[in-house]
A and B are shown apart, each in its own frame.
Chain A
Amino acid sequence: MQTGKEYVCLMRLHGDVSDERLLEAVKLFTGQIYQVPPVRSSVTRKPRMRTIYSAEIIERNGRDVLMRVACSGGTYLRKYCYDLGLYLGCGAHMQELRRTRAGPYDEENSVTLLDVYEAVKLYNENGEEHALREVVQPVETTIKFLPKVYVLDSAVDAVCHGADLAVVGISKLDDGIKRGDGVAVMTLKGELVALGDAQMSTEEMLDSEEGIAVDTERVIMDRGIYPAVWRTGSKDFN
């Protein structure tokens, strides 16, 4: 999934650069940048536009520069360091890298394998669910930053069967949705039903009385959890 990432990276400069010049280069490399994926990469080596949201120089020791970089998915930090080096004229490479955030998941809220073992042990031995619920988060956390469309109970099961979402099935929705945006279809209890592409903007969804609002791409919720109103409805119709 294309989500924002945050990294802490150690860049090594190949020459001496003043703090001011380094900061100026980092400023220039913030915002929209072009990148050609590195030689050893799994994608086509064509220039691509990527976004550096922000960058912070945490610490500097001579030619070693420790940075925190927030960027869009698919940004190569190895390339970012190399390109910074080219701009500065002295060259540079990435010495070490650690990802500290992927979409909604950040390092601070991560757990270790040992945490998982202990939580499972507590559950198996004492039936204690609390630790297990701390370690395992609901699937809804994955779409924390996607715009959401909340649907009526009566619309849920149709979407679970792969139907596109009709605008009349919508109860609430997030602002700022544009046609073609990826959206999450949710129940009014906050459960993830499906992922899809918006066929209307927020304004159109609010104002329309007919038409398809979301093209369902990927169904997450099992069928039969909510009543199949659409099925009985069609039976009555026939």
Chain B
Amino acid sequence: MKVVLPDKNIKTIDFTSVSIEQILLDLGINPLEVIVSRNGTLVSEDMIVGNDDEIQIIRIAHGG
């Protein structure tokens, strides 16, 4: 599974299936501080994703 991190670096993780929330926690990211898309579509963090998916993590800028 390809994961695009908030700094645009790409990480490849080998999973059969896992929740997005668990991916974030394993990466040390608080799910409340980011928005996540799966294959370009916004999804809720309790969604289970598979190895063929591409996940993008967008950090929410503070202020404004």
Q: Is chain B found bound to chain A in the same assembly?
A: no
- B residues in contact (CB < 8 Å) with A: none
